[in-house]
């Protein structure tokens, strides 16, 4: 078969040269050349052996002096991940690279010994972004190191970066962008360009992996036969292991759905129990459950009405050309509650709307940011009079409705085949209209025992009980942040763990908002929970938060830290997690006599040693 620029990785000139050379080679010369390229590390062993026209393995090994066996390439895969997506992709990618003859070093960025970096030839980075454009916890130290003066020159490095993020955040995939830029500044060369993935990351991640594997296989992609091998390797790279997954959710039966808040509370927190029977899905305390929700029927109806659409018109809804009636598609398939800059750009392009185009102009970023916040698709179509755009065209620019994650509130040992969640309903008013959190309100208002809910397990290796059950644990979880600690204590009770445990819980009112009060009290009585401190913020004139309780108990808390306690924070990321972090630093300064810098170092060491773990959102 003739080599073309379209079926090979070669330039026109290279392809022409090879097309002239290859037909002139004898069988012996072809075998020799195959072995020679393999020995130079230009081709991975599997690619050579899979390519019938190249050198069969037996022929290569038959001439060891001239054609040594294939040498596998070394690849270092580093991941930075808060809730498990990037680490899951990194593990699958590594497994497939290994299956294809590469020697892989797989590590979380936190565990990676940076003194080895200079020797790395091929570096693949898979990293998400958290906070407001910040690295995930287990990427912080590596990110700092690489951006410091201590970072080595990396002239011999080939690298590629996969970013995971969410376009609804202003600093989309910022951490991936940081790494990509910095590695280039240090002298690295890109294997393939960085790919930034939105929430529905499967396809983009798969394509990136395909390109990376293909490029690393280098000469293996030279003939169509080997190119096909490389592509199929890539296609399998990110494929799912178990039957049920993010891309193939399990329909879990709802067993229970209760409001945990008492009458008169401002809040509504649902305790939802689901059956995993027959799914084969497994989880550990600290993992999360992904739930695919449905949009609010009222919003769907209002949107269809505002656009003058017909709800029974068929529209595309799915990658494989599936179609659904518009009403169904807007209810179950498309995201209609979040406005992002990329979405507005696409709508502006689709409609040619001049007002929208003006809002997207350079210099109006502040205004755009303010417009995006708290508005949905109904606002957009009304504010910019977009009536009349055909439904099929409009839905083609919408994102797929993403799953929501919930920290699992049950131990599988205590509740086999079940998974429990603690979900707070999000309701607020904006632009004079009631707004409903898509998933939380779906669970609160429209899901009954007996219904099915599409779910998957999201493993979170960054939020795990210590392996040694004697290790003391300190759990800080105001509001719904308490959910995983119900799983932790359930687990510790089941395994008869002897380690001490201390829970800090807070919410607005003792009388109505003390989530799972009876369970904590039983665990206290039985010795599963050693200490419980609570902060009810609205029962007193002055607000009292969990960090105030921590500071009141600073001596004992410092003593627990000295004894090797692992600290867990779960719940609000924006304020609470920062304030609790500051309280921990203050305790280290006050009780340990550390300077502010030494206290910060102490906490980042704890983070690296997995003695300080956060599940924040």
Ligand X SMILES: Cc1cc2nc3c(=O)[nH]c(=O)nc-3n(C[C@H](O)[C@H](O)[C@H](O)COP(=O)(O)OP(=O)(O)OC[C@H]3O[C@@H](n4cnc5c(N)ncnc54)[C@H](O)[C@@H]3O)c2cc1C
Ligand Y SMILES: Cc1cc2nc3c(=O)[nH]c(=O)nc-3n(C[C@H](O)[C@H](O)[C@H](O)COP(=O)(O)O)c2cc1C
Ligand Z SMILES: NC(=O)c1ccc[n+]([C@@H]2O[C@H](COP(=O)([O-])OP(=O)(O)OC[C@H]3O[C@@H](n4cnc5c(N)ncnc54)[C@H](OP(=O)(O)O)[C@@H]3O)[C@@H](O)[C@H]2O)c1
Q: Which residues bind ligand Z (CB under 6 A)?
A: 424, 426, 478-480, 506-508, 537-538, 543, 545-547, 571-572, 574-576, 579, 617
Let me know: does 567 contact 584? Beta carbons within 8 Å.
Answer: yes
* Bridge partners, 316 (sequence order): 323
By CB under 6 A, the residues from 514 to 573 that bind ligand Y are 573
Residue matched to tokens 């993020």? 165
Q: Does residue number 437 form part of the binding site for ligand X (CB under 6 A)? A: yes
Q: Least CB distance from residue 345 to ligand X, whole Å?
A: 20
Query: Which of 167, 337, 512, 517 lies at the binding interface for ligand X (CB under 6 A)?
Result: 337
3-state secondary structure of 612: strand
Residue 308 contacts by C-beta under 8 Å, 6 or more apart in sequence? 387, 388
3-state secondary structure of 569: strand
Q: Does residue number 374 form part of the binding site for ligand X (CB under 6 A)? A: yes
Q: Which two tokens stand for residue 492?
A: 């510790």
The H or E element containing residue 392 is: helix 391-395
Q: Least CB distance from residue 425 to ligand X, whole Å?
A: 7
Site string for ligand Y, 124-163 (x = CB under 6 A): ----xxxxxx--x---------------------------
Residue matched to tokens 């809730």? 83
Could you tell which of ligand X, ligand Z, ligand Y, none binds residue 84, using a CB distance below 5 to 8 A set by kind?
Answer: ligand Y
Query: Which of 258, 430, 511, 582 lies at the binding interface for ligand X (CB under 6 A)?
Result: 430
- Nearest residue to ligand X by CB is 437
- 3-state SS of the chain: helix, strand, coil percent to 5? 40, 20, 40
Q: Least CB distance from residue 574 to ligand Z, whole Å?
A: 5
Residue by residue, what is the 3-state secondary structure of 258-327? EECCCCCCCCCEEEEEEECCCCCCCCCCCCEEEECCCCCHHHHHHHHHHHCCCCCCEEECCCCCCEEEHH
Alpha helix (H) residue ranges in 159-296: 174-185, 202-217, 224-237
Let me know: does 46 contact 101? Beta carbons within 8 Å.
Answer: yes
Q: Does residue number 149 form part of the binding site for ligand X (CB under 6 A)? A: no
Closest CB to ligand Y among residues 123, 403 = 403
Q: Does residue number 581 form part of the binding site for ligand Y (CB under 6 A)? A: no
Q: Least CB distance from residue 128 to ligand Y, whole Å?
A: 3
Q: Least CB distance from residue 260 to ligand Y, whole Å?
A: 23
Q: Least CB distance from residue 83 to ligand X, whole Å?
A: 4
Site string for ligand Y, 66-105 (x = CB under 6 A): ---------------xxxxxx-------------------
Q: Least CB distance from residue 515 to ligand Z, whole Å?
A: 9
Q: Does residue number 166 form part of the binding site for ligand Y (CB under 6 A)? A: yes
Residue 252 contacts by C-beta under 8 Å, 6 or more apart in sequence? 274, 275, 276, 279, 419, 452, 453, 454, 455
Query: Which parts of 338-416 are beta strand (E)?
Result: 404-407
Site string for ligand X, 78-107 (x = CB under 6 A): -----x------------------------
Q: Least CB distance from residue 170 to ligand Z, whole Å?
A: 14
- Nearest CA to 516 out of 422, 615, 407, 411 is that of 422
- CA 500 – CA 519 distance, rounded (Å): 17
* Bridge partners, 289 (sequence order): 406, 457
Closest CB to ligand Z among residues 250, 545 = 545
Q: Does residue number 209 form part of the binding site for ligand X (CB under 6 A)? A: no
Residues in the interface with ligand X (CB under 6 A) total 24
* Bridge partners, 256 (sequence order): 273
Query: Which of 263, 321, 428, 593 lies at the binding interface for ligand X (CB under 6 A)?
Result: 428
Closest CB to ligand Y among residues 46, 460 = 460
Residue by residue, what is the 3-state secondary structure of 563-584? CCCEEEEEECCCCHHHHHHHHH
Closest CB to ligand Y among residues 493, 573 = 573
- CA 142 – CA 112 distance, rounded (Å): 8
Query: Which of 9, 35, 165, 234 lies at the binding interface for ligand Y (CB under 6 A)?
Result: 165
Closest CB to ligand Z among residues 221, 583 = 583
Q: Least CB distance from residue 111 to ligand Z, whole Å?
A: 27
By CB under 6 A, the residues from 587 to 616 that bind ligand X are 615
Let me know: does 480 contact 228? Beta carbons within 8 Å.
Answer: no
Residues within the interface to ligand Y (CB under 6 A): 81-86, 128-133, 136, 164-166, 169, 171-174, 573, 617
Residues within the interface to ligand X (CB under 6 A): 83, 288, 293, 337, 374, 404-407, 422-424, 426, 428, 430, 437-441, 480, 483, 615, 617
């Amino acid at each position: 078969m003739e080599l073309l620029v379209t079926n090979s990785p070669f330039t026109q000139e290279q392809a022409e040269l090879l097309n002239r050379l290859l037909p002139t080679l004898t069988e012996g010369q072809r075998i020799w050349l195959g072995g020679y390229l393999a020995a130079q590390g230009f081709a991975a062993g599997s690619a050579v052996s899979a390519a019938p026209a190249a050198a069969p393995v037996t022929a290569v090994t038959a001439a060891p002096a001239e054609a040594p066996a294939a040498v596998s390439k070394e690849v270092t895969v580093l991941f930075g991940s808060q809730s498990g997506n990037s680490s899951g992709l990194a593990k699958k990618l590594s497994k497939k690279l290994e299956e294809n003859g590469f020697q892989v070093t797989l590590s979380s960025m936190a565990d990676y010994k940076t003194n080895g970096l200079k020797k790395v030839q091929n570096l693949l980075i898979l990293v998400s972004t958290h906070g407001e454009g910040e690295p995930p916890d287990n990427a912080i130290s590596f990110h700092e190191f690489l951006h410091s003066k201590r970072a080595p020159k990396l002239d011999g490095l080939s690298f590629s970066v996969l970013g995971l993020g969410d376009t609804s955040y202003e600093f989309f995939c910022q951490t991936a962008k940081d790494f990509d830029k910095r590695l280039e500044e240090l002298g690295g060369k890109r294997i393939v360009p960085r790919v930034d993935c939105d929430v529905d990351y499967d396809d983009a991640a798969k394509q990136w992996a395909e390109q990376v594997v293909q490029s690393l296989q280098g000469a293996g992609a030279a003939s169509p036969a080997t190119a096909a091998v490389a592509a199929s390797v890539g296609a399998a790279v990110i494929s799912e292991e178990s039957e049920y997954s993010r891309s193939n959710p399990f329909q879990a039966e709802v067993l229970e759905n209760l409001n945990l808040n008492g009458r008169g509370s401002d809040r509504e927190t649902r305790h939802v129990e689901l059956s995993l029977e027959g799914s084969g899905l497994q989880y550990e305390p600290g993992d999360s459950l992904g739930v695919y929700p449905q949009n609010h029927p009222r919003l769907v109806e209002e949107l269809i009405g505002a656009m003058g659409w017909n709800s029974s018109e068929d529209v595309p809804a799915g990658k494989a050309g599936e179609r659904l009636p518009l009403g169904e598609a807007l209810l179950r398939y498309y995201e209609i509650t979040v406005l992002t800059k990329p979405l507005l750009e696409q709508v502006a392009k689709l409609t040619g709307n001049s007002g929208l185009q003006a809002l997207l102009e350079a210099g109006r970023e502040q205004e755009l940011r303010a417009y995006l916040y708290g508005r949905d698709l109904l606002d957009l179509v009304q504010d910019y009079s977009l009536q009349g755009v055909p439904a099929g065209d409009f839905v083609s620019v919408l994102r797929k409705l993403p799953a929501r994650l919930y920290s699992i509130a049950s131990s599988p040992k205590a509740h086999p085949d079940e998974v429990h969640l603690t979900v707070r309903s999000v309701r607020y008013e904006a632009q004079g209209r009631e707004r409903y959190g898509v998933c939380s309100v779906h669970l609160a208002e429209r899901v009954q025992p007996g219904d099915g809910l599409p779910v998957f397990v999201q493993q979170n290796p960054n939020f795990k009980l210590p392996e040694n059950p004697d290790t003391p644990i300190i759990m800080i979880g105001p509001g719904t942040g308490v959910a995983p600690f119900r799983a932790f204590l359930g687990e510790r009770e089941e395994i008869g763990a002897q380690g001490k445990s201390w829970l800090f819980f807070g919410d607005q009112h003792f009388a109505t908002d003390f989530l799972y009060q009876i369970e904590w009290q039983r665990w206290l009585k039985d010795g599963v929970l050693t200490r419980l401190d609570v902060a009810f913020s609205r029962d007193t004139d002055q607000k009292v938060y969990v960090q105030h309780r921590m500071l009141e108990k600073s001596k004992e808390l410092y003593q627990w830290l000295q004894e090797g306690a692992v600290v867990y924070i779960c719940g609000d990321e924006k304020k609470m997690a920062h304030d609790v972090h500051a309280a921990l630093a203050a305790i280290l300064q006050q009780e340990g006599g550390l300077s502010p810098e030494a206290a910060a170092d102490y906490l980042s060491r704890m983070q690296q040693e997995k003695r300080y773990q956060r599940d924040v959102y």
